[in-house]
């Protein structure tokens, strides 16, 4: 059976599928690893308790993982579209740093710039400060970063992120999660050495530009994800997304790149292990 790695999803949101069923189904299909992305610093401890192995030293909870479950990597972050009060930024960063320093999180993410849904220039300035501070944490504690970058029609989140990243000189992996940029923005990310992660959007009929990018970028810089519970791929579009649907995106990209599905699956797992600094088997 091929093996898979969902490089970005959200397992504990209110709209997410029931956790035990979700993970059991994913494991049965060969999904061995999942990265559970953070959105706000204040939920990290709760997610650690819900998603830690029953055999770990985490505090006991009534919500334990099923006996057969993928390995879950937990991200910590203050996302650009979180509702953080700017006046509480220092305290929030201090809390996030605790989890980075104690190695309780596997990556800083998702962090980034959201220009599509948030149009206020003042908030864009705050987002850049927030991103800069979290990139410094990633650099200090040698953690990968998972980026949320969404441009508006007139302003490129990718170009602004590129400038920040270029000046910080990260030596750890960079993942451009749910990549939706254009070809020029893809080149900017690749210039930084970043991985481009494709979600179910790439399967949509109107995503021709993404399909071209996914067919042409270096294979060693490609990842796939679900971003569950959002963005279910064709043929599940419109449904609540789940990690099991990763296989639809993987099959679609294999067809785009005209390569055997099992070969692509193996390469993508190897890439994901590199991105999240795990040993690849």
Number of domains within the chain? 1
157, 162, 168, 174 alpha-carbon torsion, rounded to 10°: 90
280 domain residue, yes or no = no
Q: Tell whether the torsion through CA atoms of 233, 237, 240 and 244 is positive or negative.
A: negative
39 domain residue, yes or no = yes
Note if the pTM is more than 0.85. Answer: yes
Looking at residue 281, its pLDDT comes to 61
Residue 219 exposed, middle or buried by CB count within 10 Å (0-12, 13-18, 19+): middle
Looking at residue 54, its pLDDT comes to 54
Domain span at 50 = 4-275
CATH number at residue 229: 3.20.20.140
Mean pLDDT in consecutive groups of 10 residues from the start of the chain, 281 residues: 96 95 97 98 96 58 74 97 91 98 97 97 97 98 99 97 97 98 98 99 98 99 99 98 98 98 98 94 61
281 domain residue, yes or no = no
> Alpha-carbon distance 217 to 190, whole Å?
9
Looking at residue 66, its pLDDT comes to 85
Looking at residue 154, its pLDDT comes to 95
Looking at residue 91, its pLDDT comes to 96
Looking at residue 123, its pLDDT comes to 96
Looking at residue 1, its pLDDT comes to 82
């Amino acid at each position: 059976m091929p093996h898979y790695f969902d490089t970005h999803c959200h397992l504990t949101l209110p709209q997410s599928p029931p956790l035990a069923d979700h993970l059991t189904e994913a494991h049965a299909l060969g999904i061995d690893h999942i990265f559970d992305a953070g959105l706000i610093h204040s939920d990290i401890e709760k997610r650690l308790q819900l998603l830690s192995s029953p055999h770990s030293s985490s505090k006991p909870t009534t919500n334990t993982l099923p006996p057969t479950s993928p390995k879950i990597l937990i991200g910590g972050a203050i996302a650009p579209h979180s509702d953080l009060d700017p006046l509480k930024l220092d305290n929030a960063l201090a809390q996030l740093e605790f989890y980075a320093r104690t190695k309780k999180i596997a990556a800083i993410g998702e962090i980034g710039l959201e220009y599509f849904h948030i149009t206020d220039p003042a908030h864009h300035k705050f987002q850049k400060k927030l991103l800069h501070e979290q990139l410094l944490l990633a650099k200090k504690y040698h953690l990968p970063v998972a980026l949320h970058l969404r441009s508006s029609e007139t302003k490129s989140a990718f170009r602004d992120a590129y400038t920040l990243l270029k000046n910080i000189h990260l030596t750890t992996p960079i993942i451009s999660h749910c990549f939706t940029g254009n070809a020029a923005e893809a080149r900017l990310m690749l210039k930084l050495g970043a991985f481009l992660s494709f979600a179910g959007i790439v399967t949509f009929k109107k995503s021709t530009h993404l399909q071209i990018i996914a067919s042409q970028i270096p294979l060693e810089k490609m990842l796939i994800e679900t971003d569950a519970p959002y963005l279910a791929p064709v043929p599940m579009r419109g449904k609540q997304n789940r990690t099991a649907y990763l296989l639809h995106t993987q099959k679609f990209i294999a067809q785009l790149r005209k390569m055997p599905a099992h070969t692509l699956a193996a390469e993508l797992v190897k890439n994901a292990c590199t991105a999240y600094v795990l040993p690849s088997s």
